[in-house]
Chain A
Amino acid sequence: MTTDQGAPAPGGAGVIHDLGYRHYDGPRLGRAAIIRALYWHSLRSAFGIGRGVKAKIVPVLTFGLMCLPAIVNAIAVAQHPGQAPVVDYDTYTFRLRSLVMLIFVAAQAPELMSRDLRSHVLPLYMSRPLRRLDYPLAKLAAFTAACLLMLEIPLVILYVGNVLSAGGGSAVWAQTRALIPGVGVAALWALLLAAIGLVLASLTGRRAYATGMIAIYLFLTWTLSTILVGIAKHGPAGPGAVPLGPHAVAPLGARLGGLISPFSVLDGVRQWLGGTNPGPIPPPGSVGFWYGVMFLVLLGASLAGLAARYRKVGAA
Chain B
Amino acid sequence: MTTRAPRAGKLGSPPPGVAASERLPDEGEARITVTAPPQLRAGPGPGGAGTAAAVIQTEALTKRYTGEVTALDGLTVAFAPGITGLVGANGAGKSTLIKILLGLLPPTTGRAVVLGHDVTASGERIRTLTGYMPEHDCLPPDVTGTEFVTHLGRMSGLPATAAKERAADSLRHVGLYEERYRQLGTYSTGMKQRVKLAQALVGDPRLLLLDEPTIGLDPAGRRAMLDLISRIGAEFGISIVVSSHLLGEIEQICDQLVVIDGGRLLRSDTMTSFTQVSQVLLIEVDEGAAALAAELAGRGLQPRRSGRGLLVRIDGDVTYDVVRNAVADLGLPLNRLEQQRRRVEELFRDAGDEEERDDD
Contacts and interface: CB of A to CB of B under 8 A. Distances in A.
B142 A52 contact: yes
Interface in B160-175: 160, 162, 166, 169, 172-173, 175
A130 interface: yes
Contact of B255 (A6, A9, A37): A6
B1 A6 contact: yes
Given A20-B35, A24-B162, A31-B124, A5 B271 contact: yes
A2 B138 CA distance: 35
B36 interface: yes
A267 B105 CA distance: 44
B104 A314 contact: yes
A120 B211 CA distance: 15
B43 to A, nearest CB: 14
Interface residues of B, number: 67
A156 interface: no
Q: By CB atoms of chain B within 10 A, which of A17, A28, A127, A314 has the most?
A: A127
A5 B204 contact: no
Nearest to B40: A23
Contacts of B340: 1
Interface string A227-255: 00000000000000000000000000000
Chain A residues touching B, range: 35 or more
Nearest to B125: A129
Interface in A20-43: 20-31, 33-34, 37-38, 41
A170 interface: no
A53 interface: no
B5 A5 contact: yes
A33 B159 CA distance: 9
B159 A29 contact: yes
Interface string A106-125: 00000000011011110111
Interface in B236-287: 236-237, 251-255, 271-272
A315 B105 contact: yes
B110 interface: no
Contact of B227 (A5, A8, A34): A8
Contacts of B234: 6-8
Nearest to A35: B155
B147 interface: yes
B130 interface: yes
B233 interface: yes
Contacts of A30: 157
B228 to A, nearest CB: 9
B154 A37 contact: yes
A3 interface: yes
A17 B227 CA distance: 13
Contacts of A6: 1, 4-5, 82-83, 230, 233-234, 253-255, 271
A127 B35 contact: no
Contacts of A41: 151, 154
A118 B143 CA distance: 14
Given A29-B159, A34-B157, A126-B104, A5 B252 contact: yes
B8 interface: no
B156 interface: yes
A28 B253 contact: no
Contact of B341 (A2, A14, A26, A130): A2
B267 to A, nearest CB: 17
Given A33-B157, A129-B157, A130-B155, A8 B235 contact: yes
A285 interface: no
A315 B35 CA distance: 39
A21 B173 contact: yes
A23 B41 contact: yes
Nearest to A19: B172
Contact of A26 (B83, B162, B254): B162
A203 B152 CA distance: 24
B151 to A, nearest CB: 6
A5 B253 contact: yes
Given A6-B5, A120-B138, A128 B35 contact: no
A119 B154 CA distance: 19
B138 A119 contact: yes
Given A6-B4, A21-B173, A27-B159, A13 B227 contact: yes
Interface string B90-131: 000000000000101100000000000000000011011011
A1 to B, nearest CB: 7
Given A8-B234, A129-B156, A20 B255 contact: no
A131 interface: yes
A50 interface: yes
A125 B137 contact: no
Interface in A158-182: none
Contacts of B147: 50
B155 A38 contact: yes
Interface string A34-68: 10011001000000001110000000000000000
B156 A128 contact: yes
Given A8-B230, A129-B127, 19 more contacts: A2-B341, A5-B271, A6-B82, A6-B234, A6-B253, A7-B1, A7-B234, A13-B231, A21-B169, A23-B37, A26-B162, A29-B158, A34-B157, A50-B147, A118-B140, A120-B138, A124-B138, A124-B152, A130-B124
30 contacts: A5-B252, A5-B253, A5-B272, A7-B230, A8-B231, A9-B227, A13-B227, A13-B231, A14-B231, A19-B172, A21-B169, A21-B235, A24-B166, A24-B203, A27-B159, A28-B128, A29-B158, A31-B124, A37-B160, A38-B155, A119-B138, A119-B140, A121-B139, A123-B136, A125-B155, A127-B132, A128-B155, A129-B125, A129-B127, A129-B128
Interface of B: 1, 4-5, 34-39, 41, 82-83, 102, 104-105, 124-125, 127-128, 130-132, 134, 136-142, 147, 151-152, 154-160, 162, 166, 169, 172-173, 175, 199, 203-204, 227, 230-237, 251-255, 271-272, 340-341
Interface of A: 1-3, 5-9, 13-14, 16-17, 19-31, 33-34, 37-38, 41, 50-52, 115-116, 118-121, 123-131, 314-315
